Amino acid sequence: MLIDSFNRTIDYIRVSVTSRCNFRCLYCMPNTPFEWEPHENILSYEEMFEFLRLAIDEGVKKIRLTGGEPLLRKDLDVFVKMLHDYKPELDLALTTNGYYLKEYAKKLKKAGLKRVNVSLDSLKPEVAAKIAQKDVLNKVIEGILEAKKEGLLVKLNTVVMKGINDGEILDLLEWAKKHGMTIRFIEFMENERAYPGIKRVSSDEILKEISKKYNFKELPKDNSASKYFELEDGYVFGIIEPHSEDFCKSCNRIRLTAEGYLIPCLFFTESYNIKEAIRKGDIKKAAEILREVVKNKPEKNDWQEEEVSSRAFWETGG
Ligand SMILES: Nc1nc2c(ncn2[C@@H]2O[C@H](COP(=O)(O)OP(=O)(O)OP(=O)(O)O)[C@@H](O)[C@H]2O)c(=O)[nH]1
Ligand SMILES: C[S@@+](CC[C@H](N)C(=O)[O-])C[C@H]1O[C@@H](n2cnc3c(N)ncnc32)[C@H](O)[C@@H]1O
Ligand code: SF4
Ligand code: SF4
């Protein structure tokens, strides 16, 4: 079992399979990064699997594939199948911008993927295009509906930004409700790479907007990043509020990047690399690094102190 210095059990790994993306979201990667890692620096699926097998044997129960845009990496379904076949009861999930989901949903489901979380920031084509800096809405919606049709459990993620999509909170909630999907509204996490003009909408403001039309009650919190709320008719939505004081108390996760960096926390730049150990077949060393990362997880992020992170979301996978 992996337990950190604050007695939190770490049983969730988010794996960024590629840093590349076909969107340029204002809150994440508004500009194309200076240069991409050369191919030889990227872990192969087999190398990632070697490490993840070790982590699973140490108690990891949930693996989420993310990016950049994970569906840009070839044969993602093959990787999903490797993980699923190793431990079918894994909570195996994907976070995607949805653009290529229509094509991939069936294959991913067949390979053993259970869940998919899709970013949906607006229902207005021109607003979605402003945020992603590309005309994306139709393809994203088609992808979401196809994933649902294939029997994947679908959640929606919305980063709420002042003056951009904060007028659509109720519309997005009602769209998600109509389609039987949970939506989570995310507080923008201030980041040096984001477009400078982006302003966060707080969880209180989001809840206030929803309360204009609905009564709801907060549900007991588990170790998910999200708080969940239930409307009177039983529909459940979520809020992800990393600026709140108790957000990190239930942290159960670390991150692995495509270049082999293990990252103790989304906010900080600290990282450790397992590539050399894995390429040498030195599993003992990789296990030592994994324990070191868990031991060095910080108690909490610095968004709570109104600081700005310099860690790129597209590398860590969010
Ligand atoms: N600050 C912070 N944000 C996180 C963390 N984990 C996820 N998020 C953010 O929460 C949002 C939703 O993340 P997802 O990729 O859907 O993953 P998840 O919330 O773990 O998904 P579920 O397993 O369905 O609960 C994204 O904006 C992530 O960047 C975390 O450990 N810290
Ligand atoms: C980095 S993306 C990678 C996966 C995929 N490309 C996507 O957009 O879903 C993972 C998550 O990070 C979120 N994210 C990126 N930058 C963020 C920021 N500055 N604040 C809050 N959430 C952010 C996205 O909304 C998405 O839910
Ligand atoms: S949030 Fe996802 S889709 Fe948007 S730029 Fe970042 S990695 Fe790409
Ligand atoms: S910000 Fe860091 S410590 Fe807090 S929940 Fe996220 S990864 Fe964990």
Report d(CA 18, CA 95) in Å as an integer. Answer: 12
Q: What is the pLDDT of residue 207?
A: 98
Rg (CA), the chain: 19
Mutate to test the pocket of ligand 2, among 104, 120, 131, 159 (most ligand atoms within 8 A of CB): 159
Q: What is the pLDDT of residue 38?
A: 85
Q: In CATH terms, is domain 12-316 a member of 3.40.50.620?
A: no
Q: What is the pLDDT of residue 103?
A: 97
- 112 CB within 6 A, ligand 4: no
What's CA 243's distance to the chain center, in Å? 17
Q: What is the pLDDT of residue 271?
A: 96
Report d(CA 308, CA 302) in Å as an integer. Answer: 8
The DSSP call for residue 72 is G
Strand 227-231, strand 216-218: pairing:
antiparallel
Q: Is the ipTM of this complex over 0.85?
A: yes
Report d(CA 216, CA 34) in Å as an integer. Answer: 45
Report d(CA 92, CA 112) in Å as an integer. Answer: 8
CA of 125 to the centre of ligand 4 (A): 33
SS3 200: strand
User: Which residue has 């600026």 as its token pair?
Assistant: 243
User: Where does ligand 3 bind, in terms of residues with CB under 6 Å?
Assistant: 21, 23-25, 28-29, 67-69, 97, 119, 313-314
The pTM (predicted TM-score) of the whole model is 0.97
- Using a 10 angstrom Cβ sphere, with 0-12 exposed, 13-18 middle and 19 or more buried, the burial of residue 129 is middle
154 φ, ψ to 5°?
-115, 130
| pLDDT < 50 regions, the chain | none
SS3 217: strand
- Ligand at shortest distance from the CA of 8: 4
Token pair of 250, please?
A: 């239930």
Q: What is the pLDDT of residue 156?
A: 98
Torsion of CA 80, 85, 88, 91, to 10 degrees: -20
